[in-house]
Amino acid sequence: MRIVQVAAEFAPLAKAGGLGEVVVGLTRALNNLHEDVEVIIPKHDLIHPKILENARLEIPDFKCVENGRQIANAAWQIEAEGCKLHLLEARHPSGYFHRGKIYGCDDDVPRFLYFCRMVAEYLKLKNQPIDVLHLHDWHTAALALFIRDLMSLDVKVGKIVLTIHNIEYQGKCAVQDLNAVGLDGVSYLTSTKLQDNDPNYPETINLLKGGIVYADRIVAVSPTYAKEILTQTGGFGLDSTLKFCKSKLSGILNGIDLSLWSPESDRHLKHHFSSTDALASIVKAKRKNKEELIRRFQVSSVATPWVGAVTRIAEQKSPELLEEALVQTMRLGGVFVLLGSSPTPAIQSHFEALKQKYQGHPQVILQLEYDDALAHQIYAALDLLVVPSKTEPCGLTQMIGMHYGVLPIARSTGGLKDTVVDCDNGLKPSAERNGFLFEKATAKEFTETLERAILLYKTNPATFQNLMRCGMHLDFSWTKPAKEYLKAFSASVKMIGFNTVQLSPIMEQNKAATATKPKRPSAPRS
Ligand code: ADP
């Protein structure tokens, strides 16, 4: 099968979170299953120049239209992490992918719409039939419109598959944004196409909705998330569209890339360990990894356990409970470690203030930046990993943590619910239990669970270590998910004709609203 994946990220070259890791892990696993896979991402300026030394200029100059102007672009090809990667360079006057970051700019919608146009033009020039065009999140969803509506004769694509990594980000914009890249914006402003489902904003275009409507298959990144996004609270306004497209939706749990994440061979660790070692050796190696951090950050050598998180400090990740974890871990005599930064300036400055407050404290390590090597070293040292997310589509950190002998303390949602089994869950065999779960994202429930975990660590090390062992033995590799993706790629689906679908009640409601609502001057951007 010839599969082309299109995404905003590819780890470790250009990574902001889990998406980049998923793209590389899935691609490698599909390659191992002898599929022909290529990946296309923007040529972000944050890709290290050393990596680009091996890049080959594939197409030196191809044009894209934006607001009637012809803009020059180039395509580069590179072999990265064992994958065939194409980097599309926009020589755009606004420096679209020269921002020192992947997302978080005011013009993210025009930037990624432009990227979709670039990919469409590039695929047209390449003129090679594609069995599966695999899109990831709203950033690439509009590519489906170009392929099916504008270039169906020029780019032969069998199936379009959309993976939803996070439904909270939808790429909301205005008709003019579609016009800018050469699409007929107003023709998409219907309830069966890209019109946002919020009846208060009938003029708003929703790119992720477009991906959902146009895709032949939709994959959510865990089975529980596939169910949650069909509900009113979990669908963030797209539940009615997803319900309507339910026959093409499934949930596939992400894997972790074991060539990057394996405590026996991790290039960032001085002290390796493996799930097949004796428990005493694992504990000893983890202690040595703690000592490295004790020396580096000058924290207490006697305080235990080590509790921490490696995370984007986004609202979704419950920043208030991460702070609670810090306070409670200190109270209970442990060391708290947080590696993370926030896309939200107010949250970032709050944590900067906490860092000031606890500067030099022997029980606190707060590193408010992105540091891949340190992330590996922290997982290898921690005893407990807190993942108190309000929503968590899949979550990679709990799986990485378990693989490194860390017990997760997680809220029971999305992929956390699919991977963490509470140590007191009497309905599951003890060999399947691997951590601690709580239901409500409240300080009370979280603290009770943290206390339960620390009590077990302090009073019953044998049981605690057995739980570590259970987590380390789980198979989080990409092999199984890649096979499930292949099934999804080849499953026959009933195609939905965009012009002939029956309207759901909410869509009818939107249609009526469009007719009566006044125009909003500008649509929300994200
Ligand atoms: P999300 O994609 O929502 O950010 P995931 O749990 O799916 O969350 O994936 C996060 C990935 O990013 C994990 O591999 C985690 O280790 C990594 N990560 C998050 N924050 C940092 C950071 N500050 N430094 C290094 N790695 C980080």
Residues 365-393: tens digit of each pLDDT: 999 999 999 999 999 999 999 999 999 99
| Token pair of 56 as six digits | 């080959």
CB-based contact 407:435 (threshold 8 Å):
yes
Q: How far apart are the first and last CA of the chain?
A: 34
Rounded to the nearest whole angstrom, what is the distance from the C-alpha of residue 12 to the centroid of ligand 1? 12
**Atom nearest to 394 CA in ligand 1:** 7
Q: What is the pLDDT of residue 497?
A: 34
Ligand 1, atom 4: closest residue by C-alpha:
17
Rounded to the nearest whole angstrom, what is the distance from the C-alpha of residue 341 to the centroid of ligand 1? 10
Rounded to the nearest whole angstrom, what is the distance from the C-alpha of residue 480 to the centroid of ligand 1? 22
Rounded to the nearest whole angstrom, what is the distance from the C-alpha of residue 16 to the centroid of ligand 1? 7
Ligand 1, atom 18: closest residue by C-alpha:
311
**Atom nearest to 369 CA in ligand 1:** 23
The set of long-range contacts for 462-467, using a CB threshold of 8 Å and a minimum separation of 24, is 463/423, 464/383, 464/407, 465/279, 465/282, 465/283, 466/279, 466/430, 467/407, 467/423, 467/433, 467/434, 467/435
Q: What is the pLDDT of residue 469?
A: 97
Residues 121-177: tens digit of each pLDDT: 999 999 999 999 999 999 999 999 999 999 999 999 999 999 999 999 999 999 999
More confidently predicted of 493 and 431: 431
Give mean pLDDT, residues 173-201. Answer: 98
**b/e map of 256-288 (b: 16 or more CB within 10 Å)?**
bbbebbbbeebeebebebebebeeeebbebbee
3-class secondary-structure state, position 178: helix
Rounded to the nearest whole angstrom, what is the distance from the C-alpha of residue 18 to the centroid of ligand 1? 6
Rounded to the nearest whole angstrom, what is the distance from the C-alpha of residue 334 to the centroid of ligand 1? 23
> Given ligand 1 and candidates 311, 347, 370, which is best to mutate, with the most ligand atoms within 8 Å of its CB?
311
Residues with CB under 6 A from ligand 1: 17-19, 21, 310-312, 339-341, 370-372, 375, 394-397, 400
446 sits in which H/E element:
helix 443-459
CB-based contact 281:249 (threshold 8 Å):
no
Q: Is pLDDT of 503 > 70?
A: no
Ligand 1, atom 2: closest residue by C-alpha:
18
* CA separation for the pair 6, 133 (Å, rounded): 8
Rounded to the nearest whole angstrom, what is the distance from the C-alpha of residue 289 to the centroid of ligand 1? 20
Residue type, 486: L
Query: Sign of the C-alpha dihedral, residues 521, 102, 134, 221?
Result: negative
CB-based contact 476:255 (threshold 8 Å):
yes
Residues 81-116: tens digit of each pLDDT: 999 999 999 999 999 999 999 999 999 999 999 999
What crossing angle do the helices spanning 319-331 and 443-459 adopt, rounded to 10°? 40
Give mean pLDDT, residues 61-70. Answer: 96
**Atom nearest to 312 CA in ligand 1:** 20
pLDDT band at 404 (very low <50, low <70, confident <90, very high): very high
* CA separation for the pair 433, 26 (Å, rounded): 27
Q: Is pLDDT of 280 > 80?
A: yes
| Token pair of 410 as six digits | 């997680």
Give mean pLDDT, residues 467-489. Answer: 97
CB-based burial of residue 322 (10 Å sphere; 0-12 exposed, 13-18 middle, 19+ buried)?
A: buried
Residues forming a β-bridge with 435: 422
Give mean pLDDT, residues 469-498. Answer: 83
Rounded to the nearest whole angstrom, what is the distance from the C-alpha of residue 375 to the centroid of ligand 1? 9
**Atom nearest to 375 CA in ligand 1:** 25
- Secondary structure (DSSP) of 276-333: TS-HHHHHHHHHHHHHHHHHHHT--SS---EEEEE----GGG-HHHHHHHHHHHHHTT
In 3D space, the residue among 467, 400, 406 whose CA is nearest the CA of residue 262 turns out to be: 400
Rounded to the nearest whole angstrom, what is the distance from the C-alpha of residue 312 to the centroid of ligand 1? 6
Q: What is the pLDDT of residue 523?
A: 37
**Atom nearest to 341 CA in ligand 1:** 23
Rounded to the nearest whole angstrom, what is the distance from the C-alpha of residue 476 to the centroid of ligand 1? 16
Residue 51 CA: distances (Å) to CA of 54, 82, 224, 260:
6, 13, 37, 17
Rounded to the nearest whole angstrom, what is the distance from the C-alpha of residue 22 to the centroid of ligand 1? 11
Rounded to the nearest whole angstrom, what is the distance from the C-alpha of residue 21 to the centroid of ligand 1? 9
Ligand 1, atom 19: closest residue by C-alpha:
311
In 3D space, the residue among 327, 366, 320 whose CA is nearest the CA of residue 344 turns out to be: 320
Rounded to the nearest whole angstrom, what is the distance from the C-alpha of residue 44 to the centroid of ligand 1? 19
Residue 108 CA: distances (Å) to CA of 140, 195, 348, 526:
12, 19, 20, 8
> Given ligand 1 and candidates 312, 342, 411, 418, which is best to mutate, with the most ligand atoms within 8 Å of its CB?
312
Q: Is pLDDT of 505 > 90?
A: no
Give mean pLDDT, residues 316-322. Answer: 98
Q: Quote the longest CA-to-CA distance of the chain.
A: 70
Q: Is pLDDT of 516 > 50?
A: no
> Given ligand 1 and candidates 342, 397, 413, 416, which is best to mutate, with the most ligand atoms within 8 Å of its CB?
397
Q: Is pLDDT of 319 > 90?
A: yes
Q: Residues 313, 42, 46, CA angle at the centre, nearest 5°?
A: 55
**Atom nearest to 379 CA in ligand 1:** 16
CB-based contact 73:90 (threshold 8 Å):
yes
Give mean pLDDT, residues 506-518. Answer: 43
DSSP for residue 14 = B
Give mean pLDDT, residues 283-302. Answer: 98
Ligand 1, atom 9: closest residue by C-alpha:
18
For tokens 């959510």, name the residue.
220
Rounded mean pLDDT of the chain?
A: 93
| Token pair of 107 as six digits | 């013009």
Backbone angles phi and psi of 434, in degrees to 5:
-150, 5
Ligand 1, atom 17: closest residue by C-alpha:
17
pLDDT band at 17 (very low <50, low <70, confident <90, very high): confident
Q: Is pLDDT of 477 > 80?
A: yes
CB-based contact 304:453 (threshold 8 Å):
no
Q: Which domains does the chain have, with CATH numbers?
A: 2-170+216-255+484-499 (3.40.50.2000), 279-473 (3.40.50.2000)
Rounded to the nearest whole angstrom, what is the distance from the C-alpha of residue 15 to the centroid of ligand 1? 9
Give mean pLDDT, residues 61-90. Answer: 97
* CA separation for the pair 392, 394 (Å, rounded): 5
Q: What is the pLDDT of residue 47?
A: 97
pLDDT band at 492 (very low <50, low <70, confident <90, very high): low
What crossing angle do the helices spanning 372-381 and 279-297 adopt, rounded to 10°? 130
> Given ligand 1 and candidates 139, 396, 404, 418, which is best to mutate, with the most ligand atoms within 8 Å of its CB?
396
C-alpha torsion angle, residues 506, 512, 514, 520 (rounded to 10): -80
Residues 417-448: tens digit of each pLDDT: 999 999 999 999 999 999 999 999 999 999 99
Q: What is the pLDDT of residue 15?
A: 92
Length of the chain: 526
pLDDT band at 491 (very low <50, low <70, confident <90, very high): confident
